[in-house]
Amino acid sequence: MTNQNLIKILENISFLLELKGENKFKILTYKKAIEIIEDNDMDIENLVLNNELKNVIGFGEALVSKIQEFVKTGKIDFYEKLKIEYPESLCEINKIKGLGVVKIRFLYDILKITNISELSIAIENGQLSNVKGFTEKLINQIKKGIENIITYSSKTYYHLALDEANEIIENIKSIGYNKVRLVGDIPMFENEIDKIEIIIGLDSVNLFDFNHLKSNLIFYQLEELENPLFYKFYVSKAKSGIKIELGICDNQKFELLYHNLNCKDNYFETLKEFIKYSGYQLEKDKFIDNLDNEIFISNELELYKNIGFSFVNKENRIDSQAVEFAQKYILPQTVNLNDLKGMLHCHSNWSDGRNSLREMALATKKLGYEYFGICDHSKTASYANGLSIERVLEQHYEIDKLNSENLGIRIIKGIESDILPDGSLDYPDEILEKFDFVVASVHSSFNMELNEMTERVNKAISNKYTTILGHPTGRLILKREAYKIDLDEIIRTSAEFGKVIEINSNPYRLDFDYNWSRIAKAKGVKLAINPDAHNINGLKHNQYGVLSAKKAWLTKSDVINTLSCNEFLNFSKILRNK
């Protein structure tokens, strides 16, 4: 959480400096610092404690001093002084897409609006209706932005929630409670997490010492509530701001509760109906036979064995389909991380990545992959140092040179080509044909109407040089909604032209959603599990894409980068010649 709290402060500093009209290079210092911290998954606290922060490229002396101050004191004096000049609550308004610094300055200086609540009231009262620059479309956009902020404020990202939950569990174990497990949305791999759910099993619940737990763990707003499933049930607040639910139960009920709380309601109710025919009855808090004698299971596997079903993994306990698979013993063998042979859609310092081609390739090799597909940004993405035609040729020369060194992993030539508003890719055919594969992605003009965006992306899919459609909806979890697009039509076009759709494994994207991956699979469309890595640490994000693929019941044969390097290159070549 040190990183997340620091990033929030740096974001606020950069915005408040912009609001103040400070030097743009000074503002850029903070924005670049955020990129460096996020892209490299830096352990800020450890770097400060080991006096290594000064060695980070891009961190000047003044910035290093401020970060050191934050780690040691929990605040930055420079930021505290900025908050005296401008209300911190304006930073929340800055999260609303379409406003920008000029309009926020107007809201503050002229209308005296300082927070989201006051902005909502101003909209409801019609104060913005006749103000120059605040069109009806923008006002509706602001309303939607406010709704998103309220929704997102109580949620966090899967990987951050998982880290925090594991830390809490380790703390609970450290004070003598051994049977402690995570349940709910985190083990079931939901993209957005609004609570951390933990259960503790005890031999004798009467010996549970609430004060011992409270005094040894830093829980915020700890409150005891009624819950019929548990002996004791507490609600608290995590450091990230999301809710913690902590249930205390008898060890005899623990394993069954662990199973039941890792099921979506539809799955659980369907399972309950199915096993009635096995002579058993399943309730939320216990498993009883037809004589009403309670049966205690020692683990989840035993439950499924007792009723004659295949075991269903937590991420798949979503709906009736999983129950039907389990009852018939036809559960698909879902794809695993070690099935992936190719690392596709990665960036290097040729565009906006942090590491060199050599470093990215060798890090990929270390993770056990056979080939590394570089996909730096294309020429239209000037904001990301996109590659001009001349630089494409230079990069290809470097790739050939690196491959001649026999690094133990093959680098293949790819590009993340921008899909332009008219649906074309942003290189001429004679350049596109030089790549081994092309990931085509939308990075601009997100506000098109549904038919326009669908037509735009369909045109890109039909381009003979497109191999993979990158992050198909443009969604950024908890930040940006998906653009309007008919995914049924996109899947149909992908199937028609034999093109691949990406499951973007970046935990801030996780785009394609598993529901759409299921539909794509049913239509015969191949998927690619890609990290969209901008540094060597980002290569590990494929683990999240694999979880998404598992949730969609994807098998090894459904995922294109389970192919060997030659098989993948041949696949891409055949696509172009269709």
Average pLDDT, integer, range 28-47: 82
**pLDDT tier at 152 (50, 70, 90 boundaries)?**
confident
Report d(CA 263, CA 188) in Å as an integer: 8
Q: Which CATH class is domain 263-331?
A: alpha beta
**Cβ–Cβ under 8 Å, residues 542 and 529:** yes
Residue type, 56: V
Q: For residue 434, which of 397, 405, 462, 463 has the smallest C-alpha distance?
A: 397
Task: Flag whether pLDDT at 449 surpasses 90.
Answer: yes
Listed in order, the ranges of the chain carrying CATH 3.20.20.140 are 337-576
Could you give the 3-state DSSP secondary structure of residue 100? helix
Residues of the chain with CATH 3.30.210.10: 263-331
> Do residues 360 and 332 lie in contact, with contact meaning Cβ atoms separated by under 8 Å?
no
* pTM of the entire predicted model: 0.88
Strand partners, 503: 529
Token pair 């951050």 is found at: 160
Q: Kindly report the CA angle at 530 between 526 and 532, in degrees rounded to 5?
A: 145
**pLDDT value of position 285:** 63
DSSP letter (8 states) at residue 533: B
Residue 537 or 197, more confident: 197
The answer to whether the beta carbons of residues 37 and 3 sit under 8 Å apart is yes
Side by side, the strands of the sheet bearing 437-441 are 342-346, 371-374, 410-418, 437-441, 468-469, 500-504, 527-530
Determine the topology of domain 2-152 in CATH.
DNA polymerase; domain 1 (1.10.150)
Percent over 90 (pLDDT), the chain: 69
- Tens-digit pLDDT profile for residues 223-249: 889 998 899 999 988 878 899 999 999
CATH 3.30.460.10 region(s) of the chain?
A: 155-261
Most confident residue range from 89-103, 199-213, 423-437 = 423-437
> Counting Cβ atoms within 10 Å, is residue 237 exposed (0-12), middle (13-18) or buried (19+)?
middle
Task: Give me the CATH code for the 155-261 domain, please.
Answer: 3.30.460.10
For range 417-438, the mean pLDDT: 97
CATH of 337-576, one of 3.30.500.10, 3.20.20.140, 3.40.50.150, 1.10.8.590: 3.20.20.140
Q: What is the tens place of the pLDDT at every residue in 481-532? A: 899 999 999 999 999 999 999 999 999 999 999 999 999 999 999 999 999 9
**What's the average model confidence in pLDDT over 137-151?**
89
pLDDT level of residue 293 (50, 70, 90 thresholds):
very low
Instruction: Report CA dihedral (445, 450, 452, 457) to the nearest 10 degrees.
Output: 80
Averaged pLDDT for residues 319-341: 94
Q: Which residues contact 480 (CB under 8 A, 6 or more apart)?
A: 97, 446, 474
DSSP character at residue 476: B
Q: What is the pLDDT of residue 284?
A: 66
pLDDT in tens, 46-61: 889 888 888 887 788 9
Q: What is the pLDDT of residue 180?
A: 96
CA distance 271 to 327: 9
| Segments of the chain assigned to CATH 1.10.150.20 | 2-152
* Range 125-135 average pLDDT: 89
Phi-psi label, residue 227: left if phi above 0, alpha if psi -120 to 50, beta otherwise: beta
Question: In 296-383, which residue ranges form alpha helices assigned H by DSSP?
Answer: 300-307, 320-328, 357-366
What distance in Å separates the CA atoms of residue 180 and residue 89, rounded to the nearest whole number? 38
pLDDT tens-digit readout, 4-21: 889 899 999 999 999 999
Question: How far apart (Å, rounded) are the C-alpha atoms in residues 259 and 281?
Answer: 15
Q: Mean of the pLDDT values across residues 125-153?
A: 88
pLDDT, one tens digit per residue, over 401-416 is: 999 999 999 999 999 9
Lowest mean pLDDT among 248-262, 335-349, 364-378: 248-262
Assign 283 a pLDDT band (cuts: 50, 70, 90).
Answer: confident
Q: Is 243 helix (H, G, I), strand (E, B) or coil?
A: strand
- Per the structure block, which two tokens stand in for 570? 């041949």
Q: Give pLDDT, residue 279.
A: 67
pLDDT at position 290 over 70? no
**Residue 528 CB contacts under 8 Å (≥ 6 apart), including other chains:** 344, 345, 468, 500, 501, 502, 503, 559, 560, 561
Q: Specify the pLDDT at position 362.
A: 98
* pLDDT attached to residue 440: 98
At 291, the pLDDT band (50, 70, 90 cuts) reads very low
Number of residues written out for the chain: 578
CA–CA distance from 362 to each of 138, 337, 414 (Å)? 47, 18, 17
| Rounded average pLDDT over 537-566 | 97
Count the neighbouring beta carbons within 10 Å of the beta carbon of residue 156: 24
